[in-house]
Structure 1
Amino acid sequence: MKRVCVNCEDQNDMQAFSGETHTVEFRGASAVVKNLSGFRCPSCGEVEFDEESAERYAEAGDALVMAARAEAGSELRRIRRKLGLNQVEASRLTGGGHNAFSRYETGKVTPTPAVINLFRLLDRHPEEVDRLKRA
């Protein structure tokens, strides 16, 4: 049975590969996953991993996401405390729900770039917090 490419829909049979190493990247971090197998489209190069390889590749990506969440949460916690804000006050500044900062700081949710950028600015200019509280 021919494997049709899901990307370009080329009718040529996708070519099997095995033992390859691929790199997963997320927000500047990367992880190397070795010994992957699957199929590659000879026309566009699209890769379709077999089930076991796809699972390992996805786990590596998930680990990068979780590490990025933990790092962002730690940074936000440090800045929030520096500014003397509790989590509810920090959530109000960013327009989030009452427990948004709890979810950011525990790594359950990835904070948006806008939240991270705002708090990085406030880290450099803490005098602006009072102005934002009044707005």
Structure 2
Amino acid sequence: MSKNDCCTCGAANAMQAFKGRSFNVNFKQLNRVVHGLDGHECTECAEIEFDAPSAELYAQAGDELVEDAKRVMAEEMKRIRRKLHFTQKNAVQLLSGGGHNAFSRYERAEVEPPKPLFVLMRLLDRHPELVRELQAINECADINALLVQKQQQREN
């Protein structure tokens, strides 16, 4: 295998040099553009191999994107929780059922909140009137009524 053969697909002499290109770094649905990267691209399978400085730059941009995303999510969780007038303890009890320190860890960006919880928080931010309905659902009055009804059917 020569220096210009692709390591991924094995195509002979397929690795073509590029300089100064831009690539996207992706994390979940977020992305960041990294400019000025050098390396090689396979003309057959499109495999990319960055040179060492470009690989370092690309990796650093990815790490920064992850950390920035965690901080933004943490700030959003805190902002929305406060907007809804929840304590961290209330938020855990009502929304997640997680441990007593869960929201504290989310808001300090120590732990990424579960996606369904983050989506629910953003939905409540847009529709705070749903908080009362959420509280009613959390009380399980409707489920208790169904259980009583089921028990009565068994007894008849």
Global fold match (TM > 0.5)? yes
- Report the identity percentage: 44
* 1:5-84 aligned within 5 A: 5-6=7-8, 9-13=9-13, 14-26=15-27, 29-84=30-85
Q: Residues 4 and 97 from structure 1, CA distance in 2 versus in 1: closer, same or farther, beyond 3 angstroms?
A: farther
Q: Is the 8 A contact 1:12 1:42 kept in 2?
A: no
Structure 1 position 118, deviation (Å) = 1.4
User: RMSD across aligned C-alpha pairs, in angstroms?
Assistant: 2.4
Q: Residues 74 and 132 from structure 1, CA distance in 2 versus in 1: closer, same or farther, beyond 3 angstroms?
A: farther
Q: Is the 8 A contact 2:19 2:37 kept in 1?
A: yes
Structure 1 position 132, deviation (Å) = 4.9
Structure 1 unaligned spans of 5+: none
- 2:115 pairs, out of 96, 107, 113, with 113
TM value normalised by structure 2: 0.69
Higher RCO (Cα < 8 Å, 6 or more apart):
1
Q: Does 1:95 align with 2:100?
A: no
State the aligned residue count. Answer: 133
1:84-104 superposed Cα distances (whole Å, 9 cap, x missing partner): 322233234213333222222
Q: Residues 97 and 23 from structure 1, CA distance in 2 versus in 1: closer, same or farther, beyond 3 angstroms?
A: same
1:49-92 superposed Cα distances (whole Å, 9 cap, x missing partner): 12221121122122222222222211211221233322233234
Q: Give the distance between the partners of 1:122 and 1:34, measured in 2 at CA.
A: 38
Q: Residues 52 and 88 from structure 1, CA distance in 2 versus in 1: closer, same or farther, beyond 3 angstroms?
A: farther
Q: Give the distance between the partners of 1:119 and 1:132, measured in 2 at CA.
A: 16
Q: What's the secondary structure of 2:109's corresponding residue?
A: coil
Larger radius of gyration: 2
Q: Give the distance between the partners of 1:12 and 1:89, measured in 2 at CA.
A: 62
Q: Residues 52 and 69 from structure 1, CA distance in 2 versus in 1: closer, same or farther, beyond 3 angstroms?
A: same
